[in-house]
Amino acid sequence: MEYRLLGKTGLFVSRLCVGTLTIGPLQADLSVSQGAKIIRRALEAGVNFIDTAELYGTYEHIKEGIRGVSRQVIIASRSYAHDRAGMRKSVELALKSLQRDYVDIFLLHEQESFFTMKGHWEAVEYLLEAKKEGLVRALGISTHCIQAVRAAALLPEFDVIQPIINTAGVGIKDGGREEMLAAIREAAQLGKGLYGMKALGGGNLLDRTEEAFRFVLSISELAAVAVGMSDPAEVDYNVAFFEGRRVPERVRREVRRKKRTLIIEDWCAGCGQCVQRCTAGALSLVGGKATVDLARCRLCGYCGSVCPEFCIKII
């Protein structure tokens, strides 16, 4: 497994990062023991970087997954907290739940612009204090927005930026793939540590997995890429690919056989673009929200590519 320095944080992270949204209650809803096995399998294969968020509900899975592991495991978490009290509560929850003395990286969740960050500045000030106290080693933002990457790059308080980036540009809210790449390069030149998310576009690029992985791995400015995994075969597949090895055919078959489903997040705005894009007639608007008929859904991911709110996922 390749390891890279994450900006100026002093943290060397594995190029593959375990994204834990997929194992938690918002998606696959694995039990703590099941989720811990996925995490442990990745760690045993050389991964040392885990990505989570307070919202994901996966702290217990991670705690069990890293229990007894002797080498350093780097954990990044995030919170929507916008004030000092809220962020302090978020950090304390993470420390208590993970049973750790510090969290390696703590991010403001889904920032959209400079103005969003300024609206959360009390939370930033607390994180800076927590960093001085040794409770947090690095801080920054996660974002689906190009303008947020550019703004955070100019703010000396932030060490790390986690942008959405994938070959199709799925989920980027305020522009396209090339604009996001340019922002990533600008941030890297300014010394920020960067690691990507949604390489598979929330599952919408599963039929283009190798192309999608080759694309994100070609972005030299990314120290790591967080990839969701909820099955042992997915861990084996991802580790092999990120290490530049041929993926065993047995593993390919197991990943292909995994039963997938399409989910629509509850923040759907009911714009109807997905309904128009679906050629299978599987989507409709009910009560102002998109609804899927799973019997008709082909899991092609075309609907997800046009969702302006990135609320359509394939898991």
CA atoms of 46 and 250, how far apart (whole Å): 21
CA distances from 175 to 72, 114, 277, 311 (A): 37, 16, 20, 17
CA atoms of 232 and 303, how far apart (whole Å): 28
Tokens (6 digits) for 44: 């045993």
Among the listed residues 126, 144, 148, the one whose alpha carbon sits nearest the alpha carbon of residue 135: 126
CA atoms of 146 and 64, how far apart (whole Å): 35
Among the listed residues 215, 240, 225, the one whose alpha carbon sits nearest the alpha carbon of residue 1: 240
| 3-class secondary structure, 225 | strand
**Which neighbouring-strand residues pair with 241?**
none
Among the listed residues 216, 125, 136, the one whose alpha carbon sits nearest the alpha carbon of residue 170: 216
Q: For 134, phi and psi rounded to 5 degrees?
A: 85, 10
Active site residue 56: yes
Size (the chain), residues = 315
Task: Choose, from 56, 59, 126, 237, the residue flagged as catalytic.
Answer: 56
Tokens (6 digits) for 131: 């960093």
Tokens (6 digits) for 299: 């899991």
Which residues have a catalytic role annotated?
Answer: 56
